[in-house]
Chain A
């Protein structure tokens, strides 16, 4: 049972971590997040389905096109649901991003339909069998992609010029502006990157689940819990929190039964935050008096 719980938990946990990375990116740079990150998950899966199944594109073309669509969506979210409110100094972006996500979900419902559809993949058809344990190749790919992207985000933030500009914008936004760094554009780029990451999550999970206009809601909520748990500003912490969340979820179902899954998981989140208010891997802010 332990092996089954590990496989199930690590797979789902990686998806939560991947989506939560988007929260980390935008929060680190702008102090804001897209609360409709789940809708970006859905958008990636839906566009990919429309191109790969509806228009018979090869997956190698459909997936990048879907991710481009997600990135454009990220720009749109920042431009119309975040920037106008941040520049006026209000926190109304909280509600605006939720509302925009609802608009997108309903728009997709009209265009795509209400029925869930399948996104077949050769990576989720024939499992590898080891003893009593079976695993789809896709379930191995998902954690690898999750950890790989966390590594790339970390590398990008610390080893590239864009990353340096981002960190400069985070630490000293006014000084960055004086140095001709376009902070506004950088924030827009992080929103596009966040939606891009969520889109990857959607495309990866779709063959194991299904594609539906409302598929992102639950993923979005869990990913936000993971982002808070991971410390919000720490990419590695968020990915680790995602894996931990997935494992607790799977272990609760395996040993205590499916009725207890949500009770145990969310109680664990509350308990963890009570013990570590900045998140399990968050940086404690020192306040000098």
Chain B
């Protein structure tokens, strides 16, 4: 019996068939695995986002060149700019999970942004990989199961390293703290206070500053009068530069040991001639003898990015190195998981046995109790020489 279709039915039929073919369709070998990145791609910390992007890109190029993951699926990086704003970071994370179907999210420099995303990924059962933000409670967030992993520093461990460096290099007995007024500053206040107590020294005091503060001399004067013999600085590039300019203005030549936030922007330009006085922490330096991975990554960076002509041009190295190793570990976790499903991928991370990486030879990097792949033995102290970041020797 012939069937007469109305015009509307005639239009709806092929559309329905096409839609039906998409629903419930298993991922094909050609379909890429999306890797989400929520980081500061603009604003004062834009350099951090660029460094992370470069590290991820070099790793993804290598993984794709050897055939991709999960039987030939290519990795595809999908980036969103959080502008260092926690609300924008949350929105971007939701979009990457719900709209883009990202298998995993990578985070950026700002701890408050990562702290805002953590509850969201734990609820959505989508793994999150921190590659810069160091607030202790990003990975140690109390969730069970916990979908948050990190290849980066942890404040509580960095703080011990900063106090140790201040004591060993500058003979610090009464350091003063100058900290950004946000969750990251609070995380470090707790960590530095505990680290100083553990090292048997007393803090001269603690002062806060806001990102938009113009003049920090009053805060610095309080620390000076309280007898600070070294300053421990926690802040990002632009306000960190204001601290250094305020020190220069006060002609106070106190040693400064800093967390790594200052390396995420144009610190040497903004801080001026005193920028090189600041010692700060990184997880990797491309200077000096490199292992095979280091040589390969540096060569790939120089080939891909014309502005990189040597190890000093890889700035900030921490973003590049952490992102590179984290992406390689993610590929291993995907292989273990055998799928992009969040629960399986989480188990995949916990099942990674070992990996010869850029920063170190990782052995059982993640366990149920520890979601941080790096520890205090993996830090290196550096300083700026012009625009380049060089390790401190001697």
Complex Cα distance, B207 from A258, in Å, reads: 7
4 smallest A-B Cβ distances: which pairs?
A134-B251, A253-B218, A114-B42, A254-B218
Contact of B242 with A253 in the complex, beta carbons under 8 Å? no
Contact of A1 with B225 in the complex, beta carbons under 8 Å? yes
Residues of B close to A4: CB separation below 8 A: 217-218, 221, 250
Complex Cα distance, B209 from A97, in Å, reads: 31
Contact of B266 with A118 in the complex, beta carbons under 8 Å? yes
Counting CB contacts under 8 A, is A174 at the interface?
A: no
Residues of A close to B62: CB separation below 8 A: none
Known: A208-B214, A208-B249, A209-B214. 14 other contacts (CB 8 A): A8-B217, A114-B46, A115-B42, A115-B44, A116-B265, A116-B270, A133-B250, A134-B248, A205-B214, A210-B238, A254-B218, A258-B209, A258-B210, A259-B181
Interface size bracket, A side: 35 or more
Given contacts A1-B222, A115-B46, A118-B270, contact A129 B251 (CB under 8 A): yes
Residues of A close to B265: CB separation below 8 A: 115-116
Contact of A258 with B272 in the complex, beta carbons under 8 Å? no
Q: Which residue of B lies closest to A136 (CB)?
A: B249
**Interface hits, A233-289 → B, CB 8 Å:** 250, 253-254, 257-259
Given contacts A127-B250, A134-B252, A210-B238, contact A116 B215 (CB under 8 A): no
Contact of A258 with B208 in the complex, beta carbons under 8 Å? yes
Counting CB contacts under 8 A, is B241 at the interface?
A: yes
Counting CB contacts under 8 A, is A125 at the interface?
A: yes
| B-contact 0/1 string along A6-21, CB 8 Å cutoff | 0110011000000000
| B-contact 0/1 string along A175-196, CB 8 Å cutoff | 0000000000000000000000
Contact of A116 with B272 in the complex, beta carbons under 8 Å? no
A-B contact pairs, 18 of them (CB 8 A): A4-B218, A7-B217, A8-B218, A114-B43, A115-B42, A115-B44, A115-B46, A127-B248, A129-B251, A134-B249, A205-B214, A208-B245, A208-B249, A209-B242, A210-B241, A210-B242, A258-B213, A258-B218
| A-contact 0/1 string along B105-127, CB 8 Å cutoff | 00000000000000000000000
Residues of A close to B270: CB separation below 8 A: 116-118, 210
- Chain A facing B: main interface SS: mixed
Counting CB contacts under 8 A, is B137 at the interface?
A: no
**Interface hits, A106-146 → B, CB 8 Å:** 113-118, 120, 124-125, 127, 129, 132-136, 139
Min distance, Cβ B257 to any Cβ of chain A, angstroms:
20
Complex Cα distance, B266 from A218, in Å, reads: 22
Given contacts A11-B215, A209-B242, contact A115 B221 (CB under 8 A): no
Complex Cα distance, B242 from A12, in Å, reads: 14
Q: Which residue of B lies closest to A218 (CB)?
A: B212
Select which of A125, A134, A135, A250 is within 8 A of B272 by beta carbon: A125
Counting CB contacts under 8 A, is A43 at the interface?
A: no
Counting CB contacts under 8 A, is A52 at the interface?
A: no
Contact of A258 with B181 in the complex, beta carbons under 8 Å? yes
Counting CB contacts under 8 A, is B64 at the interface?
A: no
